Amino acid sequence: MNGITYKNTITTIPNWVENLHIQQPKGYAYETETHFVHFYGSDKGFHVISTGLTAIEKKEGTLLEWVQRVFGAEEIEDLSVEIGCSIKGVWRPSLYYYEETYQALDISENEMRLSEYSLRLLIQKLDEIFLYIEPDLHSLNTYSHKTRELLILARTEVENFWQYYMVQANENPVGRNYTTKDYVKLLDKLHLKNFEFTLKTYSNIPPIKPFENWNLDAPSVSLTWYDAYNKTKHDRDNHFSKATLINCINAVVANLVMHCVKFSPYPMFEQTNMFSSLINQHFNASFDNCDSKSFYLPKIEIPEGTREDLFVFDCKQNKFDLPFITLPLYL
């Protein structure tokens, strides 16, 4: 069973504020044996789906008729992932609470902590470089032995993420070893272009999207910071100048994107540990042109005897949402 996603244009829930559709403009819906189910969602930041704002009503007519009548649904599209299902290691909105995220993505807190530790080292090294090179539009092409060192280290870490996904997908390399010809297959499956980071202190630096131009036709060269790593590692004499500050920043942010995909962005920004402190010191992040059709929706179990009228049904607080079924990743 797949659901639908749409834009909310009216609010008709009794005794609720009339502008809820403005505060929560995204809608997601499906039907159970007895009721229609609607979730409200944001269209900003990480596009939170508010499972506490679950509206339900006894079925009458079709799901499309219901969402159009009750929520003024426009721009209706089918969801691509079955209700109550998720893909291993691929975070999407609606997964907010840590334990639910671990379960849905089949990951562990220990895995996340080890990843945080590795990324903390990268950010600390980037922070040290910022003490000597002030990030500015005029300094982004500055290079040094320190930037080259960080570029190489960051590339190593991001390939660890990529290899994890190749193994999960049971994908063999095209040649003897995995290369960008293999890794580029992850681009759409992991929604890597969705993530956008900005440097808080250096607002004149454009948004950082390390995977924005990655493509199948030129899987190494189109990934500029990765191509710079290849050149400066294997031919330093001729390509030392490729180890620029901007390539370092992109390589570090590429790791942050991969961490968000595997573990969710919320712990990265909302914890109170040293890792989150470093992240919040330097970065803001959000989605950019994300595909709401790929979002996950929890499957809820509506008890017998539930009210038949339209009302808000807090499935999370009442624990009526079922565990996610974790599906394997296919490339």
d(CA 126, CA 205): 15
pLDDT of residue 317: 62
pLDDT averaged over consecutive 10-residue blocks of the chain (331 residues)? Answer: 93 89 95 96 92 91 97 97 97 92 97 96 95 92 94 96 97 92 97 95 92 95 94 79 95 98 96 93 89 94 91 73 94 93
pLDDT of residue 287: 86
pLDDT of residue 318: 60
> Cα–Cα distances in Å, from 310 out to 16, 67, 71, 287?
11, 12, 12, 32
d(CA 55, CA 36): 8
d(CA 320, CA 175): 48
Task: Report pTM.
Answer: 0.94
pLDDT of residue 316: 65
Nearest by Cα to 231 from 155, 177, 178? 155
For CA atoms 158, 119, 89, 189, give the dihedral sign: negative
d(CA 92, CA 324): 13
pLDDT of residue 94: 86
Nearby residues of 61 by Cβ (< 8 Å), 6 or more positions away:
none
| Mode of pairing for the β-strands spanning 4-7 and 26-31 | antiparallel
**C-alpha gyration radius of the chain:** 22
* Cβ atoms of residues 222 and 215 within 8 Å: yes
